[in-house]
């Protein structure tokens, strides 16, 4: 039987993920619902595009924090349930909490279930589960962003860097982490279909961090 504390943590993780950062920030400080402009997405990338780098950066950092916090709720349910930190069961529970937060971001109860694409929240989850691999993803993201100015392409590249890094750089043996890495790639491809189409057609918007929004 699943302990009550573990179930409550999953519910809290979903609520964390459901915080519609882009929507609330846009409405509170700009009087704008970002879902009505740009790509229509309630995430950091569209916030960069619609409201500029200051708002986009704030949304990105908060969404990362959402994923990191939700994943680390595993520490609050007690190692007596999952085993010591770093054990397979503990990591699996971290993954379950993180995935729940990502689902919350994609389908937020606080914003009519119209959320973002989950990349920043996924990254927060990766930070909590495998910090070295997360740093590789950051490097790939920044490299692609600086050279192309496409946030979507940077996100896609960083997402694919995770499973490759944990498999070939860090030689992770926890099967659930490897499976999670593969699922990240699939999820990013699914949620970025329109972006990929625009990239192929040369119609994807670029982000200029030191210019006009």
pLDDT at 40: 86
pLDDT, tens digit, 9 for 90 and up, residues 122-159: 999 999 999 999 999 999 999 999 999 888 899 899 99
Range of the domain at 20: 4-201
195: its two tokens: 């972006």
Q: How many C-beta neighbours within 10 Å does residue 143 have?
A: 14
- C-alpha distances (whole Å) from 177 to each of 2, 50, 96, 147, 169 are 22, 35, 11, 30, 14
Q: Does a structural domain hold residue 125?
A: yes
* Spatial CA neighbour of 127 closest among 65, 44, 180, 172: 65
Q: Is residue 17, in this structure, part of any structural domain at all?
A: yes
Compute and round to an integer the Cα radius of gyration of the chain. Answer: 17
In a domain, 212, yes or no: no
Looking at the domain assignment, is residue 213 inside a domain? no
Residue 210 lies in a domain: no
Domain assignment of residue 168, yes or no? yes
Q: What is the separation of C-alpha 111 from the centre of its chain, rounded to a whole number of angstroms?
A: 17
- Contacts of 5 by beta carbon, 8 Å cutoff, 6+ apart: 77, 78, 81
Residue 82 scores a pLDDT above 80: no
What is the 8-class DSSP label of residue 37? S
Nearest Cα neighbor of 46 from 147, 105, 100, 116 is: 116
pLDDT of residue 104: 96
What pLDDT is stored for residue 83 in this prediction?
67
Q: 213 pLDDT band (50/70/90 cuts)?
A: very low
Residue 140 and residue 123 in contact, taking contact as beta carbons nearer than 8 Å: no
| Contact yes or no for 120/134 (Cβ under 8 A) | no
Q: How many domains does the chain have?
A: 1
The 8-class DSSP code of residue 8 comes to H
The per-residue pLDDT for 146 is 92
194 lies in some domain: yes
Structure tokens at 138: 């950051």
209 within domain boundaries: no
At residue 209 the predicted structure's pLDDT band, cuts being 50, 70 and 90, is: low
The distance of Cα 56 from the centroid of its chain, to the nearest Å, equals: 14
Lookup result for tokens 């946030």: 151
pLDDT in tens, 173-188: 888 999 999 998 998 8
Q: Give the C-alpha separation, 152 to 158, whole Å.
A: 10
Element (H, E) at 42: none
Instruction: List, for residues 15-72, the tens digit of each pLDDT value.
Output: 999 999 999 999 999 999 999 998 888 988 889 889 988 999 999 999 999 999 999 9
Return the beta strands (E) in the chain as ranges.
Answer: none
């Amino acid at each position: 039987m699943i302990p009550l504390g573990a179930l409550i943590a999953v519910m809290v993780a979903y609520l964390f993920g459901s915080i519609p950062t882009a929507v609330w920030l846009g409405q509170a400080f700009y009087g704008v619902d970002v879902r009505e402009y740009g790509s229509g997405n309630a995430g950091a990338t569209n916030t960069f595009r619609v409201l500029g780098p200051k708002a986009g950066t704030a949304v990105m950092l908060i969404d990362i924090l959402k994923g990191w916090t939700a994943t680390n709720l595993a520490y609050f349910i007690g190692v007596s349930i999952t085993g010591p930190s770093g054990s397979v069961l503990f990591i699996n529970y971290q993954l379950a909490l993180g995935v729940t937060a990502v689902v919350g971001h994609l389908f937020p109860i606080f914003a009519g279930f119209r959320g973002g694409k989950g990349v920043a929240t996924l990254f927060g989850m990766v930070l909590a589960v495998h910090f070295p691999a997360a740093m590789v993803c950051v490097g790939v993201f920044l490299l692609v962003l600086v050279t192309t100015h496409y946030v979507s392409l940077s996100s896609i590249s960083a997402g694919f860097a995770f499973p490759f890094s944990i498999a070939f750089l860090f030689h992770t043996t926890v099967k659930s982490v490897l499976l999670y890495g593969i699922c990240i790639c699939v999820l990013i491809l699914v949620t970025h279909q329109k972006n990929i189409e625009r990239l192929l057609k040369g119609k994807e918007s670029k982000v200029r961090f030191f210019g006009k929004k």
